[in-house]
Amino acid sequence: MQTTSSVNLAAVAAEFDLRGDYLEGEPYGSGHINDTFRVRVTQAGTPVQYILQRLNTRIFRAPLDLMANVARVTAHAQARLRRQRQNDATRRALTLVPTRAGEALLRDADSGVWRAYLFIEQARTYDLTDTPAKAFEAARAFARFQALLADLPGERLHETIPRFHDTPHRYAALHEAVHANPHDRLREVGPELDFALSQEAEAGRLLNLASAGTIPERVTHNDTKINNVMIDDRSGEGVCVIDLDTVMPGLALYDFGDMVRSATINLPEDSTDFNQVRCRREIFEALARGYLEAADFLNATERAHLAFSGRLMTLECGVRFLTDYLLGDVYFKVRRPRHNLDRCRTQFALVRSIIEQENELQGFADGLRV
In a domain, 270, yes or no: yes
Q: Answer whether 174's CB lies under 8 Å from 273's CB.
A: no
Based on the fold, state whether residues 165 and 303 are members of the same structural domain.
yes
Which residue, 72, 90, 121, sits at the end of a domain?
A: 121
- What pLDDT was estimated at residue 31? 72
Question: Mean of the pLDDT values across residues 14-35?
Answer: 90
Asked whether residue 105 falls in the same domain as residue 72, the answer is yes
Per-residue pLDDT, 2: 45
Q: How many other C-beta atoms can be found within 10 angstroms of the C-beta atom of residue 214?
A: 14
For residue 321, is it within any domain? yes
Percent of the chain with pLDDT over 70: 98
Contact yes or no for 159/244 (Cβ under 8 A): no
**Under 8 Å between Cβ of 330 and 324:** yes
SS3 96: strand
Contact 58, 158 (CB under 8 A): no
Instruction: Flag the least confident range among 21-25, 82-86, 149-153.
Output: 82-86
Structural domain contains residue 360: yes
pLDDT over 90 (residue 72)? yes
- Which of 89, 121, 153 corresponds to the end of one domain? 121
> How far apart (Å, rounded) are the C-alpha atoms in residues 4 and 27?
7
How many CB atoms sit inside 10 A of residue 306's CB? Answer: 27
- Please tell me the total count of domains within the chain: 2
Tell me, yes or no, whether 176 and 243 share the same domain.
Answer: yes
Residues 241, 91: Cα–Cα separation, whole Å? 10
| 308 and 333 both lie in a single domain | yes
Mean pLDDT of 110-117: 94
55 plus 178 within the same structural domain: no
285-309: pLDDT as tens digits: 999 999 999 999 999 999 999 999 9
CB atoms within 10 A of CB 359: 10
Longest dimension (CA), the chain: 62
Average pLDDT of span 82-104: 94
User: Are the beta carbons of 259 and 291 closer than 8 angstroms?
Assistant: yes
The answer to the question of residue 227 being in a domain is: yes
Looking at the domain assignment, is residue 126 inside a domain?
A: no
Say yes or no: 136 and 114 in one domain.
no
CATH of the domain at 353: 3.90.1200.10
Is residue 187 located within the same domain as residue 54?
no
Q: Which band of pLDDT confidence, cut at 50, 70 and 90, is reported for residue 86?
A: confident
Q: Give the whole-angstrom CA distance, residue 26 versus residue 7.
A: 11
**Does one domain contain both 187 and 112?**
no
Helices vs. strands in the chain: H and E counts, helices first:
12, 11
Three-state SS annotation for 303-318: HHCHHHHHHHHHHHHH
Q: 274-280: list long-range contacts, CB under 8 Å, 24+ apart.
A: 274/345, 274/346, 274/349, 275/349, 277/346, 277/349, 277/350, 277/353, 278/350, 278/353, 279/310, 279/350, 279/353, 279/354, 279/357, 279/361
Average pLDDT score over residue span 131-149 = 97
Assess whether pLDDT exceeds 80 at residue 1. no
Cα separation, 235 vs 133, whole angstroms: 11
Point out the least confidently predicted range of 25-34, 36-45, 127-136, 191-200. 25-34
Averaged confidence pLDDT in the chain: 94
Instruction: Quote the pLDDT of residue 7.
Output: 82
Give the pLDDT score at 292. 97
Are the beta carbons of 25 and 93 closer than 8 angstroms? no
Q: Is pLDDT at 4 greater than 60 in this prediction?
A: no
Q: Are residues 17 and 141 in the same domain?
A: no
Give tens-digit pLDDT for 310-351: 999 999 999 999 999 999 999 888 999 999 999 999 999 999
Q: For helices 281-294 and 339-367, what crossing angle results, to 10°?
A: 60
Helix (H) or strand (E) segment spanning residue 170: helix 167-180
Per the structure, the complete domain to which residue 74 belongs is given by 4-121
Domain boundary among 94, 121, 148: 121
**Which of 4-13, 112-121, 123-132, 244-253 is the least confident region?**
4-13
Is residue 82 domain-shared with residue 158, that is, in the same domain? no
- How much of the chain exceeds pLDDT 90, in percent? 90
The answer, yes or no, to whether residue 30 has pLDDT greater than 80, is no
Distance CA(178)–CA(249), nearest Å, equals: 30
| Termini Cα distance of the chain | 45
Average pLDDT over residues 227-247: 96
Q: Mean pLDDT across the stretch 152-178?
A: 96
CATH number of 45's domain: 3.30.200.20
* 187 belongs to a structural domain: yes
Report d(CA 35, CA 43) in Å as an integer. 25
Q: Is residue 136 domain-shared with residue 34, that is, in the same domain?
A: no
DSSP 266-327: SS-TT-S-GGG--B-HHHHHHHHHHHHHH-TT--HHHHHTHHHHHHHHHHHHHHHHHHHHHH
Residue 158 DSSP one-character state: P
Assess whether 113 and 200 both reside in one domain. no
How does DSSP classify residue 32? S
Q: Per the domain annotation, does 127 fall within a domain?
A: no
pLDDT score recorded for residue 3: 47
